[in-house]
Amino acid sequence: MSEPSSRLLSALTAESQAEWRGYTCHSFVAQLGGGTLPKAAFLHYLRQDYVFLVHFARAWALAVVKSDRIDEMRIAAGTVHALIDEEMKLHIATCAEEGIGEEDLAATTESPANLAYTRFVMDAGLKGDLLDLLVALAPCVFGYGEIGRRLAEETDGPPPDHPYRDWISTYAGDDYQGVCDTVGTLIDNVAARTIGDAYAASPRWPALTETFATACRLEADFWQMGLEGT
Amino acid sequence: MSEPSSRLLSALTAESQAEWRGYTCHSFVAQLGGGTLPKAAFLHYLRQDYVFLVHFARAWALAVVKSDRIDEMRIAAGTVHALIDEEMKLHIATCAEEGIGEEDLAATTESPANLAYTRFVMDAGLKGDLLDLLVALAPCVFGYGEIGRRLAEETDGPPPDHPYRDWISTYAGDDYQGVCDTVGTLIDNVAARTIGDAYAASPRWPALTETFATACRLEADFWQMGLEGT
Amino acid sequence: MSEPSSRLLSALTAESQAEWRGYTCHSFVAQLGGGTLPKAAFLHYLRQDYVFLVHFARAWALAVVKSDRIDEMRIAAGTVHALIDEEMKLHIATCAEEGIGEEDLAATTESPANLAYTRFVMDAGLKGDLLDLLVALAPCVFGYGEIGRRLAEETDGPPPDHPYRDWISTYAGDDYQGVCDTVGTLIDNVAARTIGDAYAASPRWPALTETFATACRLEADFWQMGLEGT
Amino acid sequence: MSEPSSRLLSALTAESQAEWRGYTCHSFVAQLGGGTLPKAAFLHYLRQDYVFLVHFARAWALAVVKSDRIDEMRIAAGTVHALIDEEMKLHIATCAEEGIGEEDLAATTESPANLAYTRFVMDAGLKGDLLDLLVALAPCVFGYGEIGRRLAEETDGPPPDHPYRDWISTYAGDDYQGVCDTVGTLIDNVAARTIGDAYAASPRWPALTETFATACRLEADFWQMGLEGT
């Protein structure tokens, strides 16, 4: 399993190492990988994440609105489809096993951490251009990909009896890793035709890294909300 | 072939009969059905319509942004997909036969009639809610469906040697008619949960009919632009 | 001092009494009125509120974008002006007394509670129509007006030596109360021409009250953030 | 009377000289300066321009939404105010002299040329960032300033008996020229912090010049609509 090769992601994580690690190595993640995460915390997270995915799909639809190249619109629209029709299945299936139905899921009251992150992303898109929006979306897309890969390696699989096997397998799997590759190419192309190749030389670089760092902090808050939901 | 049964569409066309007929029975449409439309006019229209579909897909993506029910997001996202991946194929194939490549198509300078209609729809979505946006989108979706059905009936098919057979078959075909049915259900549901069932009793009705009538006029201008492109 | 007479506000607070009280009678407010609020909590709140006002002014500008009547655009634009040029003065002056300069204020890192509320309002405006946006804006506008009036009455003035005299006087004062009256008329007019006079009979009423209740909860979180900033 | 010194405007007009001249030296403008423009054409234009200003004010409000610096928000909000409260007065007063009341003005049916231009600007703002929006707004702001200055010079005043004296004086006057100066500074600052100082070296330059050229063409169409309204 190789890392997605997005130049822009590498540059952004290099600028915001503390925020990136605070998010991708959060205690929730460590406990999830170690299998010690309380089931109640996981279910609380999963219910919020279902609502999150609704707004995340809206944000990817906003990327279609903000695009004008058919190939890019196709990738963004494909991501909307993957979120609504694929990624949510994990949530619905896992919650169903625990006796939580889909209507119940959809009626979940959004936590403030959920509101903060999703609406920050939407507003980044309303305020800025396609690049601003994609940078705000990046921590979620690529962070879950990195966490999935790492936890799959650390757990050697994960093994069939791992309590969070489905979650890890979903994000470590070829489908999701393929989404990361496609989005990596998209975001690099959009960056190239917006700020050129010398990212740090662009006058927009400080604001872009600030957007990325804020999104990482809000992702960490989301894990924390999961932990505190027990 | 039966008409899509959208209550809202019926109510809107009843309020704006002159505009609806001015659009769906425009001379461009009559000549297209009769096979007398000059090829140059058709190709001029087709090139502009390719650019139109890009912005129309953006407008349907905006419908995803403005939605919060997964089933409705799925329909709107499916329409973005149908526009980008299906409807454009007709344009690309027909233009290719005439020696117009896809890059050439994408480089078409938008006519003012094209700009006026697509951007009016986008702004209806930015200014209003999902219902306002869907009403602005309705003339295009349902008008092409009605024109396709009518021309297929009038031409008995159309026959294999009809110069605009592919165009008529596309919009009269089950795929496109199915889109009209799905969108009809969507728009009726959104209307019901926004202004209730007694449409004309809603204080929003005059503004909604005005949006619909304006979109019909801009569609008629689009046909006229096609005719004048010869 | 009489209450602003907005029918819509009365109907919304009646539906969400717990959330409205949780916000307008929050411990932060009680301590502020009683003069016992730690200065550090007040300054922490004030710095965040400065950043809040920037995004709140953006949200009122979005109300101009979503309007099409000149008189309503004028009110919304006047509110943008009042926020940028008037309300911020209190923050700048108070912080200056404490040695916090305006550049320092503008460089404040937004707290998650701040992000959650302001971006929720922006997204309510992007997703819905002018009424949805105004309902999301209502708790802030009218809540501060009610709190200002109540604290001025409870403190008999407030007296010259009250540590938070300027804050209370600003929101209890004629200028701010006048803004509440004007916005009350605006929001009632927009409601009348959007959902009619029988609010609760509109199919939109549950969603509108949910928006209002969420905004009240996010306002309460904002006070809580202030308390915890000590 | 000196020209506003916007570096960005100079660079954009240099790239799109034909479009800039096609707009600023349109026959409508020449006839207006020469005093030979039929009154009916002028009144047709003025009625459409009243509706135009409503949407132009919305577009400047969108600039506030897309900004995050208080000084820039203040300029954009000030322009909204100038449009709604100052520039419209000319239209209202001139039309009143001809027996056209303000309600009549507000009820004007927008021409397609009007829709095309204003909605193109709104969508440029929704799709892109603040710079994209300002570039779409630039031809109107600066073009009217240049036309006003030039016609005032050509007509030596204009003299008291010039039939379009008020129009020329408004746009040649200190108030409007001051708006051009302020907006010139704003647009140069936004360009500097978005694409840097070497405009043509930015990968965004072709798209920005295309936006500017399209807006100039749509402005020329607007004059043409005026001429054809007789």
What DSSP state is assigned to residue B110? P
Residue C175's nearest CA partner among C89, C56, C93, C102 is C89
Residue of D nearest to A66 (CA): D127
C165-178 burial, b for 16+ CB within 10 Å, e for fewer? bebbbbbbeeebbe
pLDDT tens profile D17-62: 999 999 999 999 999 999 999 999 999 999 999 999 999 999 999 9
Q: Which of C126, C127, C203 sits opposite B194 (nearest CB)?
A: C203
pLDDT tens profile D153-176: 999 989 999 999 999 999 999 999
Residue A188 tokens read as: 């690099």
Place of tokens 């007479």: C5
Residue B178's nearest CA partner among B67, B73, B82, B52 is B82
CA distance B34 to B11: 30
> Are C127 and B68 within 8 A, CB to CB?
yes
Mean pLDDT of B169-185: 94
pLDDT tens profile B48-100: 999 999 999 999 999 999 998 999 999 999 999 888 888 888 899 989 998 99
Which pLDDT value is given to residue A2?
Answer: 57
Residue of D nearest to B124 (CA): D119
Q: Cβ distance A147 to A216 under 8 Å?
A: no
Residue A69 tokens read as: 């190249």
Residue A107 tokens read as: 């009626």
Which region among B132-136, C120-124, D80-84 has the lowest average model confidence (pLDDT)?
Answer: D80-84
Q: Cβ distance D18 to D214 under 8 Å?
A: no
- In this prediction, the residues of chain C whose per-residue pLDDT falls under 50 are 1
> Is A127 in the D-facing interface, judged by CB distances under 8 Å?
yes
Selected residues 40-79 of chain D with any CB under 8 Å from a CB in chain C: 54, 57-58, 61-62, 64-65, 67-68, 70, 73-74, 76-77
Residue A213 CB burial class (10 angstroms; 0-12, 13-18, ≥19): buried
pLDDT tens profile B210-219: 999 999 999 9
Residues of D in contact with B120 (CB under 8 A): 115, 119
pLDDT of B13 strictly over 80:
yes
Q: What is the ipTM, given to two decimal places?
A: 0.95
Give A157 to chain B, closest Cα distance, Å.
32
Place of tokens 């423009």: D37
Comparison of pLDDT for D90 and D144, the residue scoring more: D144
> Is A81 in the B-facing interface, judged by CB distances under 8 Å?
yes
Residues of B in contact with D221 (CB under 8 A): 112
Residue A187's nearest CA partner among A131, A105, A144 is A131
> Is B126 in the A-facing interface, judged by CB distances under 8 Å?
no
Residues of A in contact with C58 (CB under 8 A): 127
Answer positive or negative: Cα dihedral of B102, B103, B109, B110. Answer: positive
Give A109 to chain D, closest Cα distance, Å.
28
CA distance A172 to D215: 48
Calculate the alpha carbon distances from C223 to A40, B146, C28, C44, C56 in Å: 29, 57, 6, 10, 16
Give A145 to chain C, closest Cα distance, Å.
25
Residue A43's nearest CA partner among A95, A96, A107 is A95
Which pLDDT value is given to residue C1?
Answer: 47
pLDDT tens profile C168-210: 999 999 999 999 999 999 999 999 999 999 999 999 999 999 9
Residue D142's nearest CA partner among D113, D179, D175 is D179
Residues of C in contact with D80 (CB under 8 A): 61, 64, 73, 77, 80
pTM tops 0.90: yes
Per-residue pLDDT of chain A (230 residues; tens, 9 = 90+): 456 579 999 999 999 999 999 999 999 999 999 999 999 999 999 999 999 999 999 999 999 999 989 999 999 999 998 888 888 888 999 899 989 998 898 889 999 999 999 999 999 999 999 999 999 999 999 999 999 999 999 999 899 999 999 999 999 999 999 999 999 999 999 999 999 999 999 999 999 999 999 999 999 999 999 999 86
